[in-house]
């Protein structure tokens, strides 16, 4: 009878110990004083409006990604093709069509351009403030491009493009971002769209980590998309990087034809990021400058900020697109938000903290703005928090997890133009610790009581 009583007591205490051990596991929480959970934060959209008088970022993507850009223009033939370069085993993450009307032309209607036979509807249309400025159009065409490219083998893929009014379309640019398993480091792609400002446009880039030129995967490539540039002539654009001249001959019709309705160029396929040999030389021909540049010669080890300035002195070129590919780094371009660290691995129950940094067009910290954090996928999907940026433009968000898996976190804020701006995505992998887990404090006296009861009952039996 005593042995049965002892067995029952042992089972009860062992169950209590197991319950206490399980209840001590980490749960998804937000550290007090850092953030307040908010399940009803702003809805995150991948497309936002941009200013009508300058270029502004509309896409920022990070991860194991690569970028393909091509242009097409023809003043005679309404039917042509625009190309995509697909890396081996890559899949399309997103794709965008950027189209400019003729100088002094009218807005291109929805369906005025078809891609692979499918009418394109515009997500945004802007117009410059200077005389004769064209209309610039932007559309997310992922639903058109992805099925075609994902199903095709690696290499060059031509997609049919058609203009309903060839005399009102100057040219088209197709930018495709790939999830690329060939990349060994996280990269950043930032795409900008708008209408060139008469006074010129500045792009202030803030890097998540200081420049390290010894990193073999580090890259800082910039591409410009320009319409209505005939060369050689006085139609050219200037580009300065950190106050130094990069080129005095941007423009031309590298991707089109030499007449109104076909004047389009963009740095991309079949171009080299080798910079012009003489940055002060005017254009000698349409290929004097291919609008694809390497910014690494203009930065030093340890730099975290880069300034790019573009201007068209004659005010009759149309810089309406820019792209930055930054290898092995995360970055913000212009007024935006940067989330770091890129990735991390933690044991269950440990706290993980991410930092969102918010800056304005001049690269200065934005203080006091509300930053919204959201875990968009993973074991803690749906967790949100709203945090005010401090004097350094930083907002911190901390959380833990009770389940294994990989969380994806995104931050956002409303910019000065009242548009929602998204950060890059970062990931957090939760694993089970390989170390022997510690017992909760209360478990120790329970174990001691169990030991005493065993000794006492055993003595009574004897």
Last residue of a domain, one of 301, 333, 365: 333
- Average pLDDT over every residue of 234-243: 90
pLDDT range class, residue 25, cuts 50, 70, 90? very low
State the pLDDT at residue 285: 74
**Cβ-contact 43, 422 below 8 angstroms:** no
Which CATH number characterizes residue 376's domain? 2.60.40.10
Tell me which of 6-20, 31-45, 255-269, 438-452 is least confident: 31-45
4: in domain: no
State the pLDDT at residue 458: 57
Is the predicted pLDDT of residue 437 greater than 80, yes or no?
no
Last residue of a domain, one of 333, 354, 379: 333
Quick one: 305 and 342 in the same domain? no
153: in domain: yes
**What is the extent of the structural domain holding 293?**
64-333
Quick one: 281 and 415 in the same domain? no
pLDDT top residue among 233 and 317: 317
Q: Please write the tens of the pLDDT for every residue from 89-100.
A: 999 999 999 999
6: in domain: no
Quick one: 104 and 191 in the same domain? yes
State the pLDDT at residue 457: 59
State the pLDDT at residue 6: 47
Q: Considering the entire predicted model, what is its pTM?
A: 0.78
Quick one: 322 and 390 in the same domain? no
397: in domain: yes
pLDDT top residue among 218 and 10: 218
Q: Please write the tens of the pLDDT for every residue from 258-268.
A: 888 888 999 99
State the pLDDT at residue 247: 94
What is the distance between the alpha carbons of residues 254 and 265, in angstroms, rounded to a whole number? 5
Per residue, what are the HEC states of the chain? CHHHHHHHHHHHHHHHHHHHHHHCCCCCCECCCCCEECCCCCCCCCCCCCCCCCCEEEEEEEECEEEEEEEECCCCCCEEEEEEEECCCCEEEEEEEEEEECCCCCCCCCCCEEECCEECCCCEEEECCCCCCCEEEEEECHHHHHHHHHHCCCEEEEEEEEECCCCCEEEEEEEEEEECCCCCCCEEEEEEECCCCCCCEEEEEEECCCCCCCCCCCEEEEEEEEECCCCCCCCCEEEEECCEEEEEEECCCCCCCCCCCCCEEECCCCCCCCCCCCCCCCCCCCCCCCCEEECHHHCCCCCCEEEEEEECCCCCCEEEEEEEEEECCCEEECCEEEEECCEEEEECCCCEEEEEEEECCCCCECCCCEEEEEEEECCCCCCEEEEECCCCCEEEEEECCCCCEEEEEEEEEECCCCCEEECCCEEEEEECCCCCCCCCCCHHHHHHHHHHHHHHHHHHHC
414: in domain: yes
Q: Please write the tens of the pLDDT for every residue from 175-212.
A: 999 999 999 988 999 999 999 887 888 889 988 889 99
State the pLDDT at residue 455: 54
Quick one: 365 and 293 in the same domain? no
Quick one: 295 and 406 in the same domain? no
State the pLDDT at residue 459: 56
| Mean of per-residue pLDDT scores for the chain | 84
Quick one: 339 and 329 in the same domain? no
- Indicate the number of domains in the chain: 2
Quick one: 402 and 323 in the same domain? no
Q: Minimal CA–CA distance to 298: which of 222, 241, 215?
A: 241
State the pLDDT at residue 385: 97
Last residue of a domain, one of 291, 311, 333: 333
Quick one: 276 and 365 in the same domain? no
10: in domain: no
Is the predicted pLDDT of residue 18 greater than 90, yes or no?
no
Q: Please write the tens of the pLDDT for every residue from 357-401.
A: 999 988 899 999 999 999 999 999 999 999 999 999 999 999 999
Tell me which of 15-24, 161-170, 235-244, 383-392 is least confident: 15-24
Q: Please write the tens of the pLDDT for every residue from 260-310.
A: 888 899 999 999 999 999 999 988 777 778 999 999 999 999 999 999 999
Is the predicted pLDDT of residue 158 greater than 50, yes or no?
yes
Quick one: 150 and 223 in the same domain? yes
Quick one: 216 and 274 in the same domain? yes
Give the side-chain half-sphere CA count within 13 A for 73: 34
State the pLDDT at residue 104: 83
314: in domain: yes
- Percent of the chain exceeding pLDDT 90 equals 58
Is the predicted pLDDT of residue 241 greater than 70, yes or no?
yes
Quick one: 288 and 192 in the same domain? yes
Q: Please write the tens of the pLDDT for every residue from 57-83.
A: 888 888 899 999 999 999 899 999 999
352: in domain: yes
- Average pLDDT over every residue of 317-332: 92
The Cβ of residue 136 has, within 10 Å, a number of other Cβ atoms equal to 31
């Amino acid at each position: 009878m005593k042995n049965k009583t002892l067995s029952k007591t042992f089972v009860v205490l062992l169950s209590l110990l197991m319950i206490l051990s399980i209840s001590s596991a980490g749960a998804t929480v937000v550290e007090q004083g850092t953030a307040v959970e908010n399940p009803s934060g702003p809805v995150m959209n991948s497309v936002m409006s941009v200013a009508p008088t300058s270029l502004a970022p509309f896409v920022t993507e990070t991860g194991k990604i690569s970028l393909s850009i091509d242009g097409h223009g023809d003043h005679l033939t309404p039917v042509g093709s625009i190309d995509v370069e697909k890396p081996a085993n890559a899949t399309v993450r997103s794709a965008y069509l950027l189209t400019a009307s003729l100088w002094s032309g009218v807005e291109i209607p929805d369906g005025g351009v078809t891609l692979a036979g499918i009418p394109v509807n515009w997500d945004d249309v802007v117009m410059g403030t200077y005389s004769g400025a064209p209309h610039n159009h932007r559309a997310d065409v992922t639903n058109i491009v992805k099925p075609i490219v994902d199903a095709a083998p690696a290499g060059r893929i031509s997609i049919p493009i058609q203009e309903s009014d060839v005399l009102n379309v100057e040219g088209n640019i197709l930018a495709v971002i790939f999830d690329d398993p060939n990349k060994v480091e996280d990269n950043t792609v930032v795409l900008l769209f708008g209408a060139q400002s008469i006074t010129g446009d500045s792009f202030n880039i803030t890097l998540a980590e200081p420049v390290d030129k010894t990193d073999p995967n580090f890259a800082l490539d910039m591409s410009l998309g320009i319409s209505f540039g005939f060369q050689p002539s006085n139609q050219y654009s200037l580009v300065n990087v950190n106050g130094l001249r990069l080129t005095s001959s941007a423009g031309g019709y590298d991707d089109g034809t030499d007449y109104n309705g076909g004047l389009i160029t963009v740095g991309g396929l079949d171009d080299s990021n080798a910079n012009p040999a003489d940055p002060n030389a005017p254009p000698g021909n349409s290929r004097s400058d291919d609008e694809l540049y390497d910014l690494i010669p203009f930065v030093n080890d340890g730099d975290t900020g880069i300034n790019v300035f573009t201007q068209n002195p004659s005010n009759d070129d149309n810089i309406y697109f820019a792209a930055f590919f930054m290898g092995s780094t995360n970055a913000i371009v212009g007024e935006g938000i940067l989330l770091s660290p890129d990735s991390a691995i933690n044991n269950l129950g440990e706290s993980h903290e991410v930092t969102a940094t918010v800056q304005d067009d001049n690269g200065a910290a934005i203080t006091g703005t509300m930053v919204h954090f959201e875990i968009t996928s993973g074991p803690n999907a749906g967790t949100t928090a709203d945090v005010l940026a401090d004097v350094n433009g930083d907002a911190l968000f901390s959380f833990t997890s009770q389940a294994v898996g990989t969380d994806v976190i995104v931050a956002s804020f409303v910019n000065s133009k009242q548009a929602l701006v998204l950060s890059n995505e970062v990931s957090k992998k939760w694993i089970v610790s390989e170390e022997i887990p510690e017992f909760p404090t209360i478990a120790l006296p329970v174990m001691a009581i169990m030991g005493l009861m065993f000794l006492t009952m055993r003595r009574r039996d004897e």
